[in-house]
Structure 1
Amino acid sequence: MDLDHALRIDTPTAITAQSTIEQRVTYEKWERSNRMSLMIMKSSISVAIRGAIPDSNDAETYLASVEEQFKGSSKAHASTLTMKMLTTRYDGTSGVREHIMMMNDMASKLKGMEMTISVGFLVHYIMTSLPVQFGHFKINYNTQKEKWKMSELIAMCVQEEERLKVERPDFAHLATATPTRKKSKGNDKGKKKVDLEKSTNKANVSSTKLVQAPKCHFCRKVGHLRKDCTGTSVGRLDT
């Protein structure tokens, strides 16, 4: 049985006593498909979302209501995909083939949201997303009159990546360069923290040195003032 029959065929005329056998068969087939389609759609939608969708006994009408409810979400998703596509750069963590296929997949999703991206523009933009190691490869492409298809772009980029891995050992470490920089930043923060603690300790020591015990100016002994000196009568006279 075609489950999407009710979504592809307009609602037939309701059967009556005067309906022919062919009309009855057509309506029963549509009605069965319509009922199954509604059941599948409603069971696939969470209860919280289902309550916001106007109910209908017609599968095509119900599907249109679902689409209307998610128009706002589609716009937000399109914006997210666009920003992700514009900021994605190949960093060497995955193969260049996977990178190109991911970019192509995002373009296909945008196309389904009525945001068509031409193959020529996509190929050019993917080329700009490649790192500087592909510099000569990009120049070679820009000097050619022919425009590559997506399959040709993938094949040529994979071939260029394999060549770079053989001829330029530094390209193999492209993916590990970023974590190293991040680690050094962490060490800098730790070093700054240690320096700050040392400066604080020095300040505390300096402040401690400033507080000294009292010294008697008569007997030159430390620990009391002249007025409290008991060694002579001078202290008693001062008091």
Structure 2
Amino acid sequence: MFNGLNFSKWHEQVQFHLGVMDLDFALLNDKSTIITDKSSEDEKSFHKSWERSNILSLMFMQMTIANNFKSTVPQTESVTEYLKFVEKRFHSADKSLAGTLMAEFTIMKFDGSRAKSYYRDD
């Protein structure tokens, strides 16, 4: 579940699950041109596959985002647009948390039973 601070892990998990479910077609391919009566069967098939993948991928991503963050992500027509917005909006928070944790871990030492911070009396 995406909570606003775990973008990297969430992104990796979403890509994995969509790939396993064979729904990553819209992430891997650009949307086809507009389908007309003159479009070939291959073009129609590609468009149908892309639309199905796009809709189901959007639904999957929306299901894996915590409710308090869903309202901050605008509705989009494309799963790639949705993912880009989430990345742009929350990737820096993910990096900030990683930096904070790395700083905390670098000042810790192990005393034989548990880790202690150099600067705090735990």
Q: How does 1:19-168 map to 2 (within 5 A)?
A: 19-93=39-113
Is 1:7 paired with 2:27?
yes
* CA distances 1:76-123 after superposition (whole Å, capped 9, x unpaired): 2122122123123233337xxxx9xxxxxxxxxxxxxxxxxxxxxxxx
Task: Please list every run of 5 or more consecutive structure 2 residues that lacks an aligned counterpart in the other structure.
Answer: 1-20, 116-121
Distance 1:31 1:60 in 2: 12
TM-score (norm 1): 0.37
The answer to which structure, 1 or 2, has the higher relative contact order (CA under 8 A, 6+ apart) is 2
Stretches of structure 1 that go unaligned for 5 or more consecutive residues are: 100-181, 183-239
RMSD: 2.2
Aligned residues: 96
TM-score under structure 2 normalisation?
0.68
Percent identical across equivalent pairs?
A: 34
Higher strand share: 2
Distance 1:67 1:61 in 2: 10
Q: Which has the higher helix share?
A: 1
What SS does the corresponding residue of 1:89 show, helix, strand or coil?
strand
Distance in 2 (alpha carbons) for counterparts of 1:30 and 1:92: 56
| CA distance, structure 2, for counterparts of residue 11 and residue 51 of structure 1 | 26
Pair member with larger Rg: 1
